[in-house]
Amino acid sequence: MANWCYYENDPANGTKYGKLYNWFAVKDPRGLAPKGWHIPSDEEWTALTDNLGGEGGAGTQMKSSSGWKDNGNGSNSSGFAGLPGGFRDYFGTFNSIGVFGGLWSSSENVTGYAWYRYLYSFHVYVLRKYDYKQVGFSVRCLGD
C-alpha cells in the first residue's frame, strides 16, 4: 500500500472523509502535519479522552452529529466532529466506511505495530487499540 489513499481509491470519498494513511506516513521525517501542528501521541489521545470523561463516554462527544450509519451519530459536544472514514486493512481491502473511524497516534506499540483510537457507529466509547503499521487509518492533527 502507498503511504496514503482515498477509501476505495476514489477521490470523491476524500471530499467527506479525507485520506487513509499508514503509520509510516505518520512518522515520515518530512512531516505529515502542516507547520505548527503534529499527529497526537498515544499520551495526548489519552489526555483528550480523559478530559471528556474517559473512553466510556468520549465517543459520543467526539463523533459528528451526522454521517454515521445505523443511527450511530454522536453529539459532537466536544467539537471534534469525528467521521466514519473506514479503514484499509493489512491486505489492502477497504472496510467499514460509515461505521468505523480509526485515528493513528504517533506512538509505536512494539515493532510492527502502533497505537490508534477508534470510534464505532454502534458504541458510545472511543477505544485505544494497536494494529499493523501498514493499515490505513485517518489522522487528526493537533496544534503545537
State pLDDT tens for residues 44-99.
Answer: 999 999 999 999 989 999 999 999 999 999 999 999 999 999 999 999 999 999 99
* Contact predicate 136/4, CB 8 Å: yes
pLDDT at 75: 96
Total residue length of the chain: 144
18 close to 137: Cβ distance less than 8 angstroms:
no
Helices (H), 52-93: 55-62
- Give residue for cell 481509491: 9
Radius of gyration of the chain (CA): 14
What pLDDT score does 2 carry?
64
What pLDDT is recorded for position 29?
86
Dist CA 61 CA 46 (whole Å): 15
CA–CA gap between residue 127 and residue 123 (Å, rounded): 10
Assessment of whether the complete model's pTM goes beyond 0.85: yes
Cα distances from 72 to residues 35, 40, 77, 82, 101, in angstroms, run 34, 25, 15, 12, 12
